[in-house]
Amino acid sequence: MPRTCRFWLLLPLIALLGACTTIDLTPLPEGMTDQPPADWARRSQQLTRFDHWQLMGKLAVRQPSDSGTALINHWIQQGEATTWPCRRRFLVWAAPP
Protein backbone atom coordinates (compact mmCIF):
# COMPACT_ATOMS: atom_id res chain seq x y z
CA MET A 1 0.00 0.00 0.00
CA PRO A 2 1.45 3.40 -0.91
CA ARG A 3 2.64 5.60 1.92
CA THR A 4 0.15 8.43 1.18
CA CYS A 5 -2.75 5.99 1.19
CA ARG A 6 -1.74 4.72 4.66
CA PHE A 7 -1.57 8.30 5.89
CA TRP A 8 -5.12 9.04 4.75
CA LEU A 9 -6.41 5.83 6.35
CA LEU A 10 -4.69 6.56 9.67
CA LEU A 11 -5.73 10.20 9.85
CA PRO A 12 -9.44 9.52 10.67
CA LEU A 13 -8.39 6.91 13.24
CA ILE A 14 -6.08 9.39 14.97
CA ALA A 15 -8.80 12.06 14.93
CA LEU A 16 -11.32 9.62 16.39
CA LEU A 17 -8.99 8.59 19.20
CA GLY A 18 -8.17 12.22 19.93
CA ALA A 19 -11.86 12.92 20.48
CA CYS A 20 -11.95 10.31 23.26
CA THR A 21 -9.94 12.39 25.73
CA THR A 22 -11.40 13.29 29.10
CA ILE A 23 -11.70 16.76 30.56
CA ASP A 24 -10.33 17.20 34.06
CA LEU A 25 -12.78 19.40 35.96
CA THR A 26 -11.36 20.84 39.13
CA PRO A 27 -13.81 21.27 41.99
CA LEU A 28 -14.93 24.72 43.04
CA PRO A 29 -13.19 26.31 46.03
CA GLU A 30 -14.62 25.71 49.50
CA GLY A 31 -17.90 27.56 50.05
CA MET A 32 -18.61 28.17 46.34
CA THR A 33 -21.25 26.52 44.21
CA ASP A 34 -22.34 26.71 40.58
CA GLN A 35 -26.02 26.67 41.62
CA PRO A 36 -28.01 29.93 41.89
CA PRO A 37 -29.33 30.89 45.34
CA ALA A 38 -32.66 29.34 46.33
CA ASP A 39 -34.51 32.68 46.09
CA TRP A 40 -32.86 33.76 42.83
CA ALA A 41 -36.08 33.94 40.76
CA ARG A 42 -37.66 36.39 43.22
CA ARG A 43 -34.43 38.35 43.67
CA SER A 44 -33.88 38.59 39.91
CA GLN A 45 -37.33 40.11 39.44
CA GLN A 46 -36.60 42.68 42.15
CA LEU A 47 -33.29 43.64 40.51
CA THR A 48 -34.84 44.16 37.06
CA ARG A 49 -36.77 47.11 38.51
CA PHE A 50 -33.52 49.04 38.99
CA ASP A 51 -32.73 50.91 35.79
CA HIS A 52 -30.96 53.95 37.30
CA TRP A 53 -28.10 53.33 39.72
CA GLN A 54 -24.56 54.36 40.62
CA LEU A 55 -21.59 52.25 41.74
CA MET A 56 -18.25 53.24 43.27
CA GLY A 57 -15.52 50.92 44.50
CA LYS A 58 -12.78 48.47 43.55
CA LEU A 59 -13.23 45.46 41.30
CA ALA A 60 -10.89 42.46 41.40
CA VAL A 61 -10.62 39.24 39.40
CA ARG A 62 -8.35 36.37 40.42
CA GLN A 63 -7.59 33.42 38.18
CA PRO A 64 -5.03 30.65 38.69
CA SER A 65 -2.72 32.16 36.07
CA ASP A 66 -3.33 35.91 36.50
CA SER A 67 -5.27 38.59 38.34
CA GLY A 68 -6.40 42.16 37.79
CA THR A 69 -8.03 45.08 39.60
CA ALA A 70 -9.81 48.30 38.68
CA LEU A 71 -10.83 51.33 40.70
CA ILE A 72 -14.29 52.46 39.68
CA ASN A 73 -14.64 56.18 40.38
CA HIS A 74 -18.26 56.12 39.35
CA TRP A 75 -20.35 53.82 37.20
CA ILE A 76 -23.65 55.48 36.38
CA GLN A 77 -26.40 53.45 34.75
CA GLN A 78 -29.40 55.35 33.38
CA GLY A 79 -31.61 52.96 31.48
CA GLU A 80 -29.52 51.70 28.55
CA ALA A 81 -26.90 54.47 28.87
CA THR A 82 -23.71 53.68 30.83
CA THR A 83 -20.93 55.94 32.08
CA TRP A 84 -17.91 54.01 33.42
CA PRO A 85 -14.57 55.82 33.63
CA CYS A 86 -11.77 53.64 35.05
CA ARG A 87 -8.63 54.84 36.75
CA ARG A 88 -6.67 51.73 35.75
CA ARG A 89 -6.94 49.27 32.86
CA PHE A 90 -8.81 46.17 33.86
CA LEU A 91 -8.17 42.72 32.49
CA VAL A 92 -5.02 43.91 30.78
CA TRP A 93 -4.28 40.44 29.41
CA ALA A 94 -7.40 40.69 27.22
CA ALA A 95 -6.80 44.17 25.88
CA PRO A 96 -3.94 45.38 23.69
CA PRO A 97 -1.60 47.93 25.36
- Give per-10-residue mean pLDDT for the chain (97 aa): 70 71 73 84 88 85 81 82 66 44
Alpha carbon distance 63, 76 (integer Å): 27
Residues composing the chain = 97
Contacts of 28 (CB under 8 A, 6+ apart): 34
Query: Residue 69's beta-bridge partner residues?
Result: 60
Q: How far apart are the first and last CA of the chain?
A: 54
Alpha carbon distance 91, 81 (integer Å): 22
Give residue 39's pLDDT: 92
Give residue 1's pLDDT: 58
Give residue 14's pLDDT: 75
Give residue 87's pLDDT: 55
Domain ranges for the chain, please list them.
Answer: 48-90
Q: Contact 73/55 with Cβ under 8 angstroms? A: no
Give residue 42's pLDDT: 92
Give residue 94's pLDDT: 44
